[in-house]
Structure 1
């Protein structure tokens, strides 16, 4: 068994305990750039302030689960958590620099556009502020100077998804990229293509559901050889269902990530399976790891990424997973 697989098994064993704690999380998100948390240990009782910075696109339900995990970890550890986000790489870099300038104790950040964020991450390290990566940037976090990483191996996830489609005879899947420049999304589609050579990518505007549906409907109507659709986020999977209905296609539909509606469609059979990266765990572990590093010098992962996925959700386990999606933690 490889070290990576052992790490994932250890994390998977702990995930149930983390999810049990999720029942007392806020379940929502503040719309302000910076917000503290409350409940559990008093905010700030640990003496640490952590900046939590992502490339979240407003309205994407995926990030609610990341935030819920981070907020629960802050409550459990008494950390003061400062949220901020921007989907534009230069603006996310500014948010990281702002956190450095405000002298936070630690920074947890997504690294979806690593080259654009490299300067601000270096500024944090030069200031002696520990940085951990989460969700995106598994291949770049060490080069940038982040000391820990929590997320899915997106290449592995894409390859595994492609293998499952190939086993069902799929020849021409359409891989839907909903954010330009995302290394994680590109890696997912490349992984699918490594298993199914006929994979075709299509770029859509993930911030506009109507536009996603229209783009996919037009493509599906134009090319009847497409026999599977691979969306890289749960909201886009729901858009794809509408596009399928309008185009009259019987192409199989699979997705990365989950929300309550997507879980319901797995139950109904409209979505074949989801490749879940367990975002709640990413948020929880990122904050907890920084707390332990600051308090006790711990380095979780031993210099290797801690994998939170891929974890497959399909007809065999959907009944168990649905209650957690209703809690907005899975």
Structure 2
């Protein structure tokens, strides 16, 4: 089952009822209007007086994925500012994700935000959304397919470029042999990350496929790899929850390999500060959610678009011990 909206559990098609509110009147002067917007924001009210539109976000997140909690936080805070009714659905199975998109099309939402980890499964249903006149923005995964599928723009990091940054950083650290741990087979973004890292890494890099929904299995697979190949000196995980598991596997194997990871959360920040982790790649998930809602609002309100046909990039940013300390407060409040 998948969690939708503010906490209702559903199966099958999504029913997303919009919550109505009274539109707030603007002030006549620019200064007065800005003061009113600030007052509204301070009181938790919308900062705009535009119609109460409904935007739906559908992602490939699995249950308990903290990365997507941060994306949602950004989206919800932009929605509160923009007077948007925000609803959310997720499933790590692409066909179920497509069904949720269809459900929101049937409900005639005013905008759709969707991640394309497995793009082919969503191609046809997104064509239906575009045909129905519903503006679409893709987020996080699927930058290569976004324009082809009719989306206004894509918001996220270029996964291959992010991977290249990792390969370069590993080279700077003198690493010679690395393992890139892929926890979701078929995820095009994950493949691009590892391919990018391999492209710029001066040493040798091998992909290791694991079952990401089973952490004990992930640990066992990484541990076995490190025991079989003691010359591996770097392990790269593709999501923050897997970094700590890789550290456990390294310790159990008696390996001295450095563990590095994509994405940032509180656990990763602590690992960076303690030296358990070497570096992390931050793609700013809060910004992905916030900008997706904000850009849909701008399009509905004023027909604005950003990117000029290219993705709006939110990363990559290499985060080390010093940067983690600087971002600590933001990480604790769940916005990084």
TM-score bracket relative to the smaller structure: 0.7 to 0.9
Query: Residue 271 of structure 1: which of 249, 274, 277 is its match?
Result: 277
Contact 1:216–1:243 (Cα < 8 Å) also in 2: yes
Match of 1:108 in 2: 113
Q: Higher relative CO (CA 8 A, sep ≥ 6), structure 1 or 2?
A: 1
Match of 1:201 in 2: 207
Please report how far the alpha carbon of residue 56 of structure 1 lies from its aligned counterpart in structure 2 after TM superposition: 0.7
Contact 1:234–1:255 (Cα < 8 Å) also in 2: yes
Query: Residue 159 of structure 2: which of 151, 154, 157 is its match?
Result: 154
Please report how far the alpha carbon of residue 118 of structure 1 lies from its aligned counterpart in structure 2 after TM superposition: 0.2
Please report how far the alpha carbon of residue 30 of structure 1 lies from its aligned counterpart in structure 2 after TM superposition: 3.5
Match of 1:327 in 2: 333
**Does residue 315 in structure 1 map to residue 321 in structure 2?**
yes
State the secondary structure of the residue aligned to 1:144: coil
C-alpha offsets along residues 133-183 of structure 1, whole Å, 9 cap, x if unaligned? 000011110111111111001101101110111122222110011111111
Match of 2:256 in 1: 250
User: Which ranges of structure 1 fall in alignment gaps of 5 or more residues?
Assistant: 1-27
Contact 2:153–2:305 (Cα < 8 Å) also in 1: yes
Give the 5 Å matches for 1:213-252. 213-252=219-258
Contact 1:150–1:306 (Cα < 8 Å) also in 2: yes
Match of 1:136 in 2: 141
Q: C-alpha root-mean-square deviation of aligned residues, in Å?
A: 2.0
Contact 1:138–1:149 (Cα < 8 Å) also in 2: yes
Match of 2:59 in 1: 54
Match of 2:187 in 1: 182
Paired residues, number: 303
Match of 2:306 in 1: 300
**Does residue 261 in structure 1 map to residue 267 in structure 2?**
yes
State the secondary structure of the residue aligned to 1:263: helix
Contact 2:163–2:192 (Cα < 8 Å) also in 1: yes
C-alpha offsets along residues 270-319 of structure 1, whole Å, 9 cap, x if unaligned? 11110110000000000110011011101122222110000111023121
User: Which ranges of structure 2 fall in alignment gaps of 5 or more residues?
Assistant: 11-15, 22-43
Q: Which entry has the higher C-alpha Rg, 1 or 2?
A: 2
Q: TM-score, normalised by structure 2?
A: 0.86
Contact 1:111–1:137 (Cα < 8 Å) also in 2: yes
Give the Cα separation in 2 of the matches to 1:308 and 1:29: 26
Query: Residue 84 of structure 2: which of 72, 79, 84 is its match?
Result: 79
Give the Cα separation in 1 of the matches to 2:189 and 2:179: 17
